[in-house]
Amino acid sequence: MSAFPVDDRNRIRRKPQRGSYEREVVYAILDEALYCHVGFVEDGWPIVIPILHARQDDTLYLHGARASRLLKHVAAGHPVCVAATLLDGLVLARSVFHHSLNYRSAVVFGHGRPVEGAEKREALRLLTEHVARGRWDEARLPTPQEEEATAVVAIAIERASAKIRSGPPVDDEADYDRPIWAGVVPVVQAFLDPIPDPRLPADIPLPASLRDHRRRSRLP
């Protein structure tokens, strides 16, 4: 896969050695993150809203109620910024100055558009599969009325960058002799045992979409 174009908007300025513009790096972060933060501008103010997303190629899909301010704004074609972040660890250095976090983040810039018709149905499938792979084939599918009540928007990824920090702390050479604990506390997003709905009959087994859900946890 190729890299995204770079300009002043998406260029990584601080610690560029941690940055990447490669599609495969940006895609991997967007696909692992369950939700993203969408930024837009309204009356001169930035607004940042968390929302579920799904990606296909250079397109991000979002969905929600027709009345959603965020979705109306994106559908209108205004500039949008989307950030997805995965926290991987607390980095405890010997000095306060070199404390940090390990993370993988993607920041995307583009313009939105409304999505209708066959693409809308496919976007709803991608968004459902993003929550739990295989779920589209298990759940009751949307009726025409439900589809009508749902707004789907697409954001074309025009610029993007990823930034990644990993590994142990990096201290000043003179500090390595200090008797101060240093290292990393790994942080993972863990998926725990599913809790059946209170009204679920006892004879309905766990669905295929959840059978490997613990694998997503990256637990040791």
118-157: which residues touch its own copies (CB under 8 A)? 124, 128, 131-132, 135-136, 138-143, 146, 150
Give the CA distances from residue 28 to residues 2, 90, 94, 101, 114, in Å, rounded to whole numbers and listed in that order: 14, 21, 32, 19, 25
* Inter-residue contact 126 to 59 (CB < 8 Å): no
Could you say whether residue 202 binds its own copies (CB under 8 A)?
no
Sign, CA torsion 71/50/30/44: positive
Interacting residue with its own copies among 4, 21, 27, 109 (CB under 8 A): 109
Residue number with CB closer to its own copies (2 or 44): 44
Interacting residue with its own copies among 97, 116, 148, 166 (CB under 8 A): 97
Q: How many residues bind its own copies (CB under 8 A)?
A: 95
Identity (one letter) of the amino acid at 135? Answer: R
Nearest distance, CB of residue 3 and its own copies, angstroms:
20
- Taking the CB of residue 37, how many other CB atoms lie within 10 A of it? 16
Can you tell me which residue has the tokens 């939700």?
35
DSSP state of 206: P
Could you say whether residue 200 binds its own copies (CB under 8 A)?
yes
- Who contacts 200 (Cβ-Cβ below 8 Å, separation ≥6)? none
Interacting residue with its own copies among 53, 55, 94, 120 (CB under 8 A): 94
- 78 closest CA partner among 125, 106, 45: 45
Could you say whether residue 46 binds its own copies (CB under 8 A)?
yes
Nearest distance, CB of residue 2 and its own copies, angstroms:
23
With contacts defined by CB under 8 A, name the span among 6-14, 22-30, 54-62, 112-120 that binds its own copies. Answer: 6-14
Could you say whether residue 76 binds its own copies (CB under 8 A)?
no
Residue number with CB closer to its own copies (1 or 196): 196
Could you say whether residue 198 binds its own copies (CB under 8 A)?
yes
**Residues 16-35 within binding reach of its own copies (CB under 8 A):** 34-35
Q: The tokens of 75 are what?
A: 């559908």
- What residues does 108 pair with on adjacent strands? 82, 160
